[in-house]
C-alpha cells in the first residue's frame, strides 16, 4: 500500500522544523535572548530582563551573561543572588576583570574584607587601571583607614579626571580629615553631572553625612527615591542611609515597601531584621529571621544575624552556637571569628575569645576591631606586654582612634610608665575634646605621680563640666586611692588558687564545714589515704573507701581531687549514674574548677549524655586550662559531636602537637577526618592510634571505622590485576 500524500507533507514539515532548530545553535539563541534582555533592561523592566538573562545562561554558560545578570540583580537590590552569579562568572573565566570588580564591591558591602582583598589581589595581576585604585580606596575606607583611601582615590582621579564617582568619594575623605573646603570644591566641580547620572546622588548624600550636614544628605535621598519610585536599588540605599543615621523608622518604612513589592527579597528582609534589632524590637526581628529559614540552608548572613540577636538578648550560649556554625561553614571569614570572640567574652570564656580574635587577625591583618578587643582582653588578663604590642600596631594604622589611645595609656599606667600614659591620654583629649574619659585618666596619672593638688584641680574642672558623672568617678577615684590591704586570708586564697589540688592548703585555708567534731587531723589523714587508694580495691575495702571519700567531701567541699576520686571509683564499679551525680555536685560547689568540668564533659560525651551541656562544660574547662591537650581533646570531641568538624580539627591538630603519641587524640583526629571525607588522613591516624595502644571500646570503634575506609583496590591488588 502506498503512503498517503499527507504523510509526505507532514514529513517535509517535520524535517524543516528540525533543520531550523539545528541552525539556531546555542550561541545564536543566547545572542537573541541577550539582545532582548538588554532592551528590557534599558526600558527599566528589570524583572523581565532577569528572566531572559537566566534563560540565556541556561542555554550557554557565558561569563558575560552571568555578569549582566548580576548587574540586573543589583538593580533589583538582590545582592545575595548577584554575588552567586558573579562567583559563577569567575569560575568560568577566572582572568576576566569585570566580575572580580563587581564581586569586590559586593564583598566590601557585606563586610567580608578578606574576600574583597583576594579579589583585589586577582585584579592587581592584570592591567592597572583607575578602577583598581578606586576599589582599593573603597577597601581602605571600609577599614577606617581614611588617609590610605584618600591616596588611592587621588591616584584614580589623576588617571581618570572625569570620574565623578571617585571625585565624590575623595571629597568625603577630605571632609573626614578636616579639609572641608577641598571637599566642597570637588562637589561644586562635578555638580552639573548630578542630573544626568542619578547614581552620583548616592555619593553626594554620603558626602553631606560625613561633612556634618546629615539633613542635606537626607534631602538628597528623599529626592532620589521620589524621582525613581520603583527602583529597589535606590530604595535599599535609602534604607541603609537612614539606618546609618539612627533614623530607623524611615529605614524600616522603606524596607517594608521593598518587601511589599518583592516579598522574596532576602537582602531587604535581612536588613529589616537588623534595623529592628537596632530599634530594640527583638521579637519582631526574630520573626523576620524566621521567614528566612526556608530557601537558605547555608545563608551565612542570616546565621550571623541570628547570633547577633542572641547576643542582644543576653543569650550567650545560642549566640556561641550560631557563630560556631558560621565559623564551621566559612572558616576563613574574619567577621565570623570576630563575632564568635565577642560571644565568648560575653560568656567569660576569655581564652577562647583570644583564640578567635587572633584567627580574625590572621585572616585579615587589617581587622582593627579584632585587634582592639584582643588588646583589651590581654590588658584584662594583665598580659601588658602583649596588649602593648597590639596597641602600638593599631596606633600606626588608626592614629586617630581615641579608644586605642586610651587603652594604650591604661597599659602604660599599669606598667608604671606615667610619662607614656600621660602622653597617650593627652593625645586622646586632643582627638576628642568633649570626651571626659581622657581628662579623668590624666587626673589619675597625676594622682599616681603624687601630684594630688594638680589631680584635684583636674577632677574639679571635670566634675564641674560633667556633674552627672561625679558619683561614679569619685567612687572610682576613692577605690584607686585606697586599695584594700591583702591580709593573711588573702595570701592563703592566692596560694589556694595557685595550687588547687593541694589538700593541705584546703585544710589550712579553713575550707571545711564545721560540724562540731574535734578529730580533724585523723580525718585529714584518712582523706589523703583515700586519695592515694591505699584502702584496697574491692568488696568491703572499696565500700569503706567510698564512705571515707563521701565524708571527706563534706569536710572539704572545695577539694576537687576528692570528687574525681569518688567518680572514678564509681565508674570502675559500673555506677555511671552515681559518677555523674558526684561530678555534677562537684561542679555546683566548684564552678570554676576546670578539671571537674573537663571530666564531667568527657563522661557526658562518652555516655551519650546532653551534648549541649558537655560542650558548655568543655568550653569552661578550656577557659581554665587553654594549654592542656586533654582539655583541647575533650572540647574538640564535643565540637565533633555537634558536627562542627572544622573547629574540632583545629583544636585536635594543636593537641597532637603537644602530645604526638596520645592514642585518644590520634583516634579522635582520625574520626574527625573520616567525618570530613578525608579517607587517607583518617586511615593514617587511626592506624597510628591502634599502634599507640588505643584501648577498648575505642579500639573496636577504630577498627570498625578503619575497615570501612580501607581502599577496595589496594596497590598490591591493582598490580596483580595488571
Percent of the chain with pLDDT over 70: 79
Q: What is the 8-class DSSP label of residue 419? A: H
pLDDT digits (tens, 9 = 90+) for 471-492: 334 433 443 444 333 333 443 3
Report the C-alpha gap between 38 and 193 in whole angstroms.
Answer: 24
- Return the number of other C-beta atoms located less than 10 Å from residue 539's C-beta: 8
Is 248 domain-assigned?
A: yes
* Cis amide prior to 295 (ω within 30 degrees): no
Report the C-alpha gap between 363 and 182 in whole angstroms.
Answer: 36
- DSSP letter string, 312-346: HTT-HHHHHHHHHHHHHH-TT-HHHHHHHHHHHHH
The residue behind cell 530594640 is 280
- Return the number of other C-beta atoms located less than 10 Å from residue 634's C-beta: 30
Is 117 domain-assigned?
A: yes
Counts of helices then strands in the chain (DSSP H, E): 42, 0
Is 214 domain-assigned?
A: yes
Q: Kindly state the average pLDDT of the residues 413-440.
A: 86
Instruction: Give CA torsion, residues 625, 628, 630, 633, to 10 deg.
Output: 80
Sorting pLDDT into bands at 50, 70 and 90, what band is 215?
very high
Helices (H), 466-538: 470-481, 488-498, 503-508, 520-531
State the pLDDT at residue 44.
83
Q: How far are the Cα atoms of 244, 247, 252, 274, 290 from residue 278, in angstroms, in the given order?
A: 10, 10, 11, 6, 18
Is 216 domain-assigned?
A: yes
State the pLDDT at residue 222.
93
Using an 8 Å Cβ cutoff, are 357 and 394 in contact?
no
Q: Which of 53, 59, 50, 21 is nearest to 34 (CA)?
A: 53
Report the C-alpha gap between 232 and 75 in whole angstroms.
Answer: 7
State the pLDDT at residue 574.
67
Check pLDDT > 70 for residue 556.
no
Sorting pLDDT into bands at 50, 70 and 90, what band is 604?
confident
Q: What is the 8-class DSSP label of residue 229? A: T
pTM of the complete model: 0.61
The residue behind cell 542635606 is 216
Least confident piece of the model among 12-16, 181-185, 283-287, 413-417: 12-16
pLDDT digits (tens, 9 = 90+) for 633-662: 999 888 888 888 888 888 888 888 888 888
Q: How far are the Cα atoms of 359, 534, 651, 683 from residue 658, in angstroms, in the given order?
A: 20, 33, 11, 21
Report the C-alpha gap between 197 and 163 in whole angstroms.
Answer: 11
State the pLDDT at residue 531.
60
Report the C-alpha gap between 323 and 334 in whole angstroms.
Answer: 11
Is residue 125 located within the same domain as residue 211?
Answer: no
Is 511 domain-assigned?
A: no
State the pLDDT at residue 705.
85
Check pLDDT > 80 for residue 503.
no
Least confident piece of the model among 219-228, 258-267, 608-617, 681-690: 608-617
Is 135 domain-assigned?
A: no
- Return the number of other C-beta atoms located less than 10 Å from residue 616's C-beta: 20
Which residues neighbour 635 within 8 Å (Cβ) at sequence distance 6 or greater?
601, 615, 618, 619, 621, 622, 651
Using an 8 Å Cβ cutoff, are 594 and 625 in contact?
yes
Phi/psi for 40 (5° steps) reads: -65, -35
Q: What is the mean pLDDT of the chain?
A: 79
Sorting pLDDT into bands at 50, 70 and 90, what band is 566?
confident
Using an 8 Å Cβ cutoff, are 388 and 382 in contact?
no
Domain boundary, last residue among 273, 293, 313? 293
3-class DSSP state for residue 32?
A: helix
Domain boundary, last residue among 293, 319, 343? 293
Q: How far are the Cα atoms of 569, 636, 690, 710 from residue 695, in angstroms, in the given order?
A: 19, 20, 8, 21
pLDDT digits (tens, 9 = 90+) for 665-721: 998 999 988 888 888 888 888 888 888 888 777 888 888 888 877 654 444 434 433
Q: Which of 675, 598, 691, 608 is nearest to 643 (CA)?
A: 675
pLDDT digits (tens, 9 = 90+) for 138-188: 888 887 778 888 999 999 999 888 899 999 999 998 988 888 899 999 999
Assign residue 271 the CATH number of its domain: 1.25.40.10
Is 55 domain-assigned?
A: yes
Please compute Rg for the chain using Cα positions: 33
Sorting pLDDT into bands at 50, 70 and 90, what band is 533?
low
Domain count, the chain: 2
State the pLDDT at residue 23.
45
The residue behind cell 599606667 is 413
- Tell me which long-range contacts 568-577 makes (C-beta under 8 A, separation of at least 24): 569/542, 569/545, 570/546, 571/603, 573/542, 576/603, 576/607
Check pLDDT > 80 for residue 303.
yes
Helix 645-658, helix 316-329: angle, nearest 10: 90
Is 137 domain-assigned?
A: no
Here the cell at position 578 is: 552515681
Report the C-alpha gap between 476 and 522 in whole angstroms.
Answer: 48
- Residue 68: domain span: 28-129
If 0-12 CB within 10 Å is exposed, 13-18 middle and 19+ buried, where does residue 502 land? middle
Using an 8 Å Cβ cutoff, are 160 and 166 in contact?
yes
Sorting pLDDT into bands at 50, 70 and 90, what band is 226?
very high
Here the cell at position 300 is: 551565612
Which residues neighbour 302 within 8 Å (Cβ) at sequence distance 6 or greater?
266, 270, 289, 292, 293, 296
Which residues neighbour 133 within 8 Å (Cβ) at sequence distance 6 or greater?
152, 153, 155, 156, 159
pLDDT digits (tens, 9 = 90+) for 246-301: 888 999 999 999 999 888 888 899 999 999 998 889 999 999 999 888 765 678 88
Using an 8 Å Cβ cutoff, are 695 and 711 in contact?
no
Domain boundary, last residue among 266, 293, 320? 293
* Cis amide prior to 14 (ω within 30 degrees): no
Amino acid at each position: 500500500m502506498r503512503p498517503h500524500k499527507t504523510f509526505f507533507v507532514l514529513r517535509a514539515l517535520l524535517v524543516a522544523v528540525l533543520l531550523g532548530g539545528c541552525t539556531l545553535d546555542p550561541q545564536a539563541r543566547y545572542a537573541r535572548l541577550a539582545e532582548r534582555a538588554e532592551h528590557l533592561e534599558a526600558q527599566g523592566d528589570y524583572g523581565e530582563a532577569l528572566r531572559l538573562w537566566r534563560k540565556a545562561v541556561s542555554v550557554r554558560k557565558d561569563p558575560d551573561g552571568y555578569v549582566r545578570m548580576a548587574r540586573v540583580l543589583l538593580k533589583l537590590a538582590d545582592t545575595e543572588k548577584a554575588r552567586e552569579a558573579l562567583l559563577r562568572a569567575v569560575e568560568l573565566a577566572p582572568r576576566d576583570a569585570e566580575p572580580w570588580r563587581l564581586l569586590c564591591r559586593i564583598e566590601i558591602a557585606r563586610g567580608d574584607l578578606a574576600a574583597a582583598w583576594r579579589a583585589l589581589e586577582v585584579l592587581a595581576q592584570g592591567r592597572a587601571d583607575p578602577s583598581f585604585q578606586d576599589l582599593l580606596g573603597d577597601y581602605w575606607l571600609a577599614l577606617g583607614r581614611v588617609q590610605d583611601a584618600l591616596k588611592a582615590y587621588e591616584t584614580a582621579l589623576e588617571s581618570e579626571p572625569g570620574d565623578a564617582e571617585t571625585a565624590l568619594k575623595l571629597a568625603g575623605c577630605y571632609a573626614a580629615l578636616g579639609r572641608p573646603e577641598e571637599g566642597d570644591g570637588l562637589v561644586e566641580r562635578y555638580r552639573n553631572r548630578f542630573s544626568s547620572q542619578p547614581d552620583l546622588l548616592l555619593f553626594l548624600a554620603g558626602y553631606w553625612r560625613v561633612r556634618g550636614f546629615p539633613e542635606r544628605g537626607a534631602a538628597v535621598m528623599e529626592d532620589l527615591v521620589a524621582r525613581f519610585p520603583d527602583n529597589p536599588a535606590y530604595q535599599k540605599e535609602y534604607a541603609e542611609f537612614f539606618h546609618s543615621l539612627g533614623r530607623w523608622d524611615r529605614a524600616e518604612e522603606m524596607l517594608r515597601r521593598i518587601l511589599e513589592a518583592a516579598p522574596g527579597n532576602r537582602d531587604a528582609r535581612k536588613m529589616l531584621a537588623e534595623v529592628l534589632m537596632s530599634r530594640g524590637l527583638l521579637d519582631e526581628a526574630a520573626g523576620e529571621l524566621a521567614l528566612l529559614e526556608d530557601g537558605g540552608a547555608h545563608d551565612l548572613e542570616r546565621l550571623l544575624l541570628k547570633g547577633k540577636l542572641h547576643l542582644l538578648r543576653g543569650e550567650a550560649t545560642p549566640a556561641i552556637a550560631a557563630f560556631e556554625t558560621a565559623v564551621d561553614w566559612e572558616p576563613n571569614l574574619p567577621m565570623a571569628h570576630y563575632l564568635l570572640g565577642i560571644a565568648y567574652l560575653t560568656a567569660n570564656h576569655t581564652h577562647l575569645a583570644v583564640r578567635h580574635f587572633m584567627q580574625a587577625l590572621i585572616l585579615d591583618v587589617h581587622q582593627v576591631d579584632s585587634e582592639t578587643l584582643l588588646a583589651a582582653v590581654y590588658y584584662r588578663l594583665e598580659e601588658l606586654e602583649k596588649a602593648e604590642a597590639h596597641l602600638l600596631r593599631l596606633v600606626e594604622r588608626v592614629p586617630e582612634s581615641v579608644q586605642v589611645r586610651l587603652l594604650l595609656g591604661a597599659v602604660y599606667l599599669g606598667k608604671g610608665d606615667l610619662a607614656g600614659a600621660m602622653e597617650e591620654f593627652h593625645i586622646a583629649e586632643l582627638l576628642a575634646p568633649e570626651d571626659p574619659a581622657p581628662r579623668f585618666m590624666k587626673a589619675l596619672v597625676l594622682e599616681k605621680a603624687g601630684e594630688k593638688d594638680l589631680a584635684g584641680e583636674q577632677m574639679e574642672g571635670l566634675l564641674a563640666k560633667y556633674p552627672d558623672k561625679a558619683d561614679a568617678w569619685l567612687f572610682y577615684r576613692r577605690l584607686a586611692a585606697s586599695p584594700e590591704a591583702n591580709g593573711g586570708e588573702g595570701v592563703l586564697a592566692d596560694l589556694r588558687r595557685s595550687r588547687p589540688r593541694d589538700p593541705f592548703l584546703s585544710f589550712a585555708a579553713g575550707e571545711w564545714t564545721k560540724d562540731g567534731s574535734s578529730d580533724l587531723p585523723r580525718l585529714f589523714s584518712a582523706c589523703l589515704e583515700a586519695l592515694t587508694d591505699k584502702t584496697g580495691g574491692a568488696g568491703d575495702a572499696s565500700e569503706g573507701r567510698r564512705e571515707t571519700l563521701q565524708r571527706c567531701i563534706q569536710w572539704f567541699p572545695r577539694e576537687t581531687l576528692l570528687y574525681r576520686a569518688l567518680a572514678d571509683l564509681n565508674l570502675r564499679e559500673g555506677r555511671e549514674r552515681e559518677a555523674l551525680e558526684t561530678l555534677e555536685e562537684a561542679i555546683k560547689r566548684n564552678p570554676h574548677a576546670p578539671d571537674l568540668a573537663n571530666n564531667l564533659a568527657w563522661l557526658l560525651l562518652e555516655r551519650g549524655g546532653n551534648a549541649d551541656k558537655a560542650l558548655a562544660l568543655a568550653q569552661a574547662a578550656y577557659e581554665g586550662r587553654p594549654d592542656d591537650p586533654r582539655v583541647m581533646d575533650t572540647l574538640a570531641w564535643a565540637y565533633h559531636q555537634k558536627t562542627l568538624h572544622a573547629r574540632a580539627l583545629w583544636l585536635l591538630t594543636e593537641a597532637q602537637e603537644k602530645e604526638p603519641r596520645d592514642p585518644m587524640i590520634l583516634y579522635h583526629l582520625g574520626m574527625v577526618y573520616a567525618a570530613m571525607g578525608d579517607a587517607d588522613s583518617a586511615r593514617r591516624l587511626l592506624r597510628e592510634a591502634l599502634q599507640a595502644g588505643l584501648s577498648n571500646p575505642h579500639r573496636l570503634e577504630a577498627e570498625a571505622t578503619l575497615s570501612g575506609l580501607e581502599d577496595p583496590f589496594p596497590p598490591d591488588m591493582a598490580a596483580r590485576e595488571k
